[in-house]
Amino acid sequence: MISDNLTKKVNEQIKEELESAYLYLAMSAYCESKNFSGFAHWLKEQAKEEQGHALKLYGHLLERGGLVELKAISAPPKEFGSPRELFEQVLVHEQKITALIRTLYEVAKEEKDYPLEMFLQWFINEQVEEEASATKIVETLKMIDNKAQGLIMLDRELARR
């Protein structure tokens, strides 16, 4: 059985993961509207991944006897600026999610909830991957410096995700 406190915290993380999916879907739509279909594809895949993260947490909570309580999610912005500005926002967002996962892990550790600690290891490793991926794109966009040829090439590369 999972504690009421951890049930609440996991439900908050489910909300954060769903908000991430919604944010990336909004970013995808924005990129599509700017004719960056590769960026849009990458972000849409990222949205699906975040939804999957929420469902993993959802499943764990139910397996442990916790009550899933879906919270309202915020509407994302409509405008995100240049591709570089957009992916800088992605990186900052992933860093925020990493901090939230770490905090959840620490609470699980304090409460000696070993099953949740072990379960969250996957998320910790996933966040290393998420931040590295976003960092790579940001660094590439810095090198491109909004030059059309470079943006087109990166857009095509991200379409292959």
Element (H, E) at 113: none
| pTM reported for the whole predicted model | 0.92
The CATH number of whichever domain residue 99 belongs to comes to 1.20.1260.10
Q: Which domain holds residue 98?
A: 4-158
The overall average pLDDT reported for the chain is 95
Q: Specify the number of domains making up the chain.
A: 1
Could you report the per-residue pLDDT of 117-145, keeping only the tens digit for each? 999 999 999 999 999 999 999 999 998 88
**Using an 8 Å Cβ cutoff, are 111 and 6 in contact?**
yes
**DSSP of 71-92:** PP-PPPPS---SHHHHHHHHHH
**Mean pLDDT of all residues in 20-42:** 97
* Residue (of 56, 57, 54, 50) closest to 23 by Cα position: 50
